[in-house]
Structure 1
Amino acid sequence: MLYVTIYATQFFVTASLGVVFAYLADLQDRYGLSHLELGIVAAAGFAAGLASQLLLSPLVDRGHHRAVAWISVLSAVAGSFGFVFATAAWSLTASRALAGVSFGLFGLVARKALIGRDITGSGTKVGGLLSCAVAGFISGPAIGAALSGISFEAPFLLTGALMAVLGPFAAVLIARSSIAAVPVDYSDLGDLLRRPRVQAAIFVHVGVWGLIGVFDATVDRYLTDVGLSSNQLAIGLLIIGVPLILLPPYTGALAERLGGGRVAVPALLLFAPAVVLYGWIGGLASFIVIGVMEAVGESYSVMGAQVLVLEATGVERAAIGGGVLEAIGLAVAGAAALAGPPLYGQIGSRWLFGGWGLVCFALAGAAALRLKAAKIPPKGTTLAH
């Protein structure tokens, strides 16, 4: 019951973000937002997720997972309903920020509850959570497209109502779950950041989340300019999301068996060329082919990075470790989302995505050097302390 409810709630948390993602170009046209204002709206979710994770992740490891679960659920409901009433850049930004708080915190506290007191099998459990998150995100545009004929507000009303019904059940189950609580504090952040494994995971995560930020803020505008309709965008996202729905439990298990570093770095090297090719999309078919390539690389990269962090933290500091990793990823994604629309308008898609692809190659090299410094033992032997 715990797994099903948490996974379902994670689906709807990210579905609400996916609805917004598909409406970015519509928001710009509907409310007359500039490229900068559109970037601010897109970046607000990442920035809010970053702040909430850094501030509250130590509390989860200390045993205050109940309060964090309720904050996440209430933020999800408020964020969805906020888009129903928002009419200006500031209110759209506030709604997006509330959705970002929910996205940042729910994954954090859900991961802690799923892992419980035994780190064995955590790769598969965390991979399942990622699968549901991706499934929700790519379903958001389909929900938006299906309900757009009713009204602009209908998709946000639906996701808000579903979270209002399901979210409290998830919060109660998380509150009752048995977790490994330890007296961590904010000084543990610095300790984790000095560990080579964590540094390597951060490099990999930065590469992936930088693309997510650019993609989130620009691809709707980009593909609209290419000539794709909202329905075609929704179809394309559903197809390219399939690897990220199916693979994470298996890639997580593989990373746990072989070692996170042995999965994450090679995957990022395969991920980078797909990022470059994103700048050359000419229609729906090329979007799907390139997107599937990118999604496969992302599923291995992200799960390798998350297992790397778990190797460093163990079960006791899983929340703060995951919080550090994702907060840095969100910071990069927020900056990329803020800069993405203006850069797209100035230099175009080929330079924008091509440039980030080159950054990913450099990040893979940096991660490999940090893993060499960590002196990885065979088959990912855990060094949690």
Structure 2
Amino acid sequence: MPAQYASPVLFVTVYSTQFFVTASMGVVFAYLADLQDRYELSNIELGLIASVGFVAALAAQLLLSPLVDRGHARSIAWISVVTAVGGAFGFVFAHSAWSLVGSRALAGVSFGLFGLVARKALIGQDISGSGTKVGGLLSCGVAGFITGPFIGAAMSGIAFEAPFVFTGTVVAVLGPIAVVQISRSPIAASPVDYSHLAALLRRPRVQAAICVHVGVWGFVGMFDATVDRYLTDVGLTSGEFAAGLLMIGIPLILLPPHAGSLAERLGGARVAIPALMVFTPAVVLYGWVGGLWSFVLIGLAESTTESYSEMGSQVLILEATGVEQAAMGTGALEAIGLAMAAIAAQAGPPLYAEYGSRWLFGGWGVACGVLVIVAMWRLRAVKTPPKGMKLAH
């Protein structure tokens, strides 16, 4: 392996930049009510600001991921850094709903693209060891997203614009260093195009990974859209809610590198499918939360199994793509997950209002059970059972 790829500077700068790129996305969730009051936004405008970042991330991943595999990682990395800084400072100078939407869209483009180029650089020209590296990137992303609202809340006393100035400035400093390190990393390039993406989506391992990813991200979208209302109805205070969210996020910060390494050793399917099986009853139990500690215990079970499900599906994709199409494959997986999360987020609140938490989460638990069956059926079409990354191209 080339010496420059082993440099700790690559890992430190890429992981740190990923943390602050996702933190800048998370900051806004601590400000939604403030944004609505400050700019007199309607509920529709507020919902658009909250969701447009994920839509922009989805579009950017689908449209630009083949370019990363074609060898244009440096250009895409610069786009991701510039849009991150622009999105953060856009909230500083915004004066209308549409300027807020535009700023959020820029942040979403960065959120969608930086992970693509970071994974490609971390994987390099050797697929072995990528489970741990990609898991570390996921940990940093989750940590950033969880920390973002706390940055917003902590700095709001200084000025409304303070957290946006802070995250934008940090990315402006760290981002160019990360781009330089990404540019120096040996990246496996191949002449892929959108027809290759269609062919990739027909592969059984990819379809199985999508089933697992849809199960996880459908829950994430539903959870994010309803958990505040649900736990308020249960009787939790805002402080208890924030503390509970922080506690249940710990496995998603600590476990992905281990989960990725395990999936690489055993094969993605041997981690992803059992994890989704255990994830399913944890989803169902969310409908029976009665207080803070039941929320924390159920949440810890869910986030633990989510870590292994997510990393198992990522490794399944890498088994199918190898190094040459890694950006395109993982980008498509994430885009499908974001689309599923957006659909679930739209459907969750009215379903909760109409049927309650037990039917809502119980219904998605049934859906996850069906996805497990479909994933196992698709994996039966794989001629060589996956026994680890090295045998799975």
TM-score category (smaller protein): over 0.9
Report matched runs for 1:179-258 at 5 Å. 179-258=187-266
CA deviation profile, 1:304-331 (whole Å, cap 9, x unmatched): 0010011111111111111111111111
Task: Provide the secondary structure at the position in 2 that maps to 1:94.
Answer: helix
> How far apart are the structure 2 equivalents of 1:36 and 1:314?
42
> How far apart are the structure 1 equivalents of 2:71 and 2:304?
35
Report matched runs for 1:260-279 at 5 Å. 260-279=268-287
Query: Aligned residue for 1:363?
Result: 371
Query: Aligned residue for 1:309?
Result: 317
Instruction: Write the letter of the residue equivalent to 1:289.
Output: L
Cα drift, residue 342 of structure 1: 4.3
Task: Provide the secondary structure at the position in 2 that maps to 1:316.
Answer: coil
Cα drift, residue 85 of structure 1: 4.0
* Runs of at least 5 residues in structure 1 that lack an aligned partner in the other structure: none
CA deviation profile, 1:189-211 (whole Å, cap 9, x unmatched): 11101100000000101111112
> How far apart are the structure 1 equivalents of 2:361 and 2:96?
30
Q: 1:222 to 1:13 in 2, by over 3 A?
A: farther
Query: Aligned residue for 1:76?
Result: 84
CA deviation profile, 1:29-55 (whole Å, cap 9, x unmatched): 665655554443332122111110111
Query: Aligned residue for 1:63?
Result: 71
> How far apart are the structure 2 equivalents of 1:378 and 1:195?
13
Q: 1:35 to 1:273 in 2, by over 3 A?
A: farther
Cα drift, residue 169 of structure 1: 1.3
Task: Provide the secondary structure at the position in 1 that maps to 2:298.
Answer: helix
> How far apart are the structure 2 equivalents of 1:18 and 1:91?
18
- Find 1:292's aligned residue among 297, 300, 303: 300
Query: Aligned residue for 2:109?
Result: 101
Task: Provide the secondary structure at the position in 2 that maps to 1:373.
Answer: coil
> How far apart are the structure 1 equivalents of 2:347 and 2:100?
18
Cα drift, residue 80 of structure 1: 2.0
> How far apart are the structure 2 equivalents of 1:281 and 1:88?
39
Query: Aligned residue for 2:10?
Result: 2
Task: Provide the secondary structure at the position in 1 that maps to 2:17.
Answer: helix
Instruction: Write the letter of the residue equivalent to 1:3.
Output: F
Instruction: Write the letter of the residue equivalent to 1:290.
Output: I
Query: Aligned residue for 2:131?
Result: 123
CA deviation profile, 1:233-260 (whole Å, cap 9, x unmatched): 3322221111111111111011011110
1:145–1:234: 8 Å Cα contact kept in structure 2? no
Instruction: Write the letter of the residue equivalent to 2:242.
Output: A
Q: 1:213 to 1:95 in 2, by over 3 A?
A: farther
> How far apart are the structure 1 equivalents of 2:253 and 2:153?
21
Cα drift, residue 178 of structure 1: 1.2
Q: What is the TM-score normalised by the length of structure 2? A: 0.90
| Farther off after superposition, 177-186 or 150-159 | 150-159
CA deviation profile, 1:112-135 (whole Å, cap 9, x unmatched): 000001111010110111111111
1:43–1:333: 8 Å Cα contact kept in structure 2? no
Q: What is the TM-score normalised by the length of structure 1? A: 0.92
**1:148 matched to 2:153:** no
What's the RMSD between the two structures over aligned residues?
2.3
**1:114 matched to 2:122:** yes
1:312–1:382: 8 Å Cα contact kept in structure 2? no
> How far apart are the structure 1 equivalents of 2:159 and 2:350?
29
- Find 1:164's aligned residue among 150, 158, 172: 172
Query: What is the percentage of aligned positions where both structures have the same residue?
Result: 73
* Runs of at least 5 residues in structure 2 that lack an aligned partner in the other structure: 1-8
Q: 1:286 to 1:305 in 2, by over 3 A?
A: same
Instruction: Write the letter of the residue equivalent to 1:59.
Output: L
Q: 1:137 to 1:262 in 2, by over 3 A?
A: same
Aligned length: 385
1:57–1:323: 8 Å Cα contact kept in structure 2? yes
Cα drift, residue 108 of structure 1: 0.6
> How far apart are the structure 2 equivalents of 1:25 and 1:320?
37
Q: 1:26 to 1:153 in 2, by over 3 A?
A: same
> How far apart are the structure 1 equivalents of 2:233 and 2:165?
29
CA deviation profile, 1:97-147 (whole Å, cap 9, x unmatched): 222211111111000000001111010110111111111111112222222
- Find 1:51's aligned residue among 53, 59, 71: 59
Q: 1:32 to 1:283 in 2, by over 3 A?
A: farther
> How far apart are the structure 1 equivalents of 2:291 and 2:36?
22
> How far apart are the structure 2 equivalents of 1:295 and 1:65?
31
Cα drift, residue 344 of structure 1: 4.1
Q: 1:274 to 1:153 in 2, by over 3 A?
A: farther
- Find 1:21's aligned residue among 29, 35, 38: 29
| Farther off after superposition, 156-165 or 88-97 | 88-97
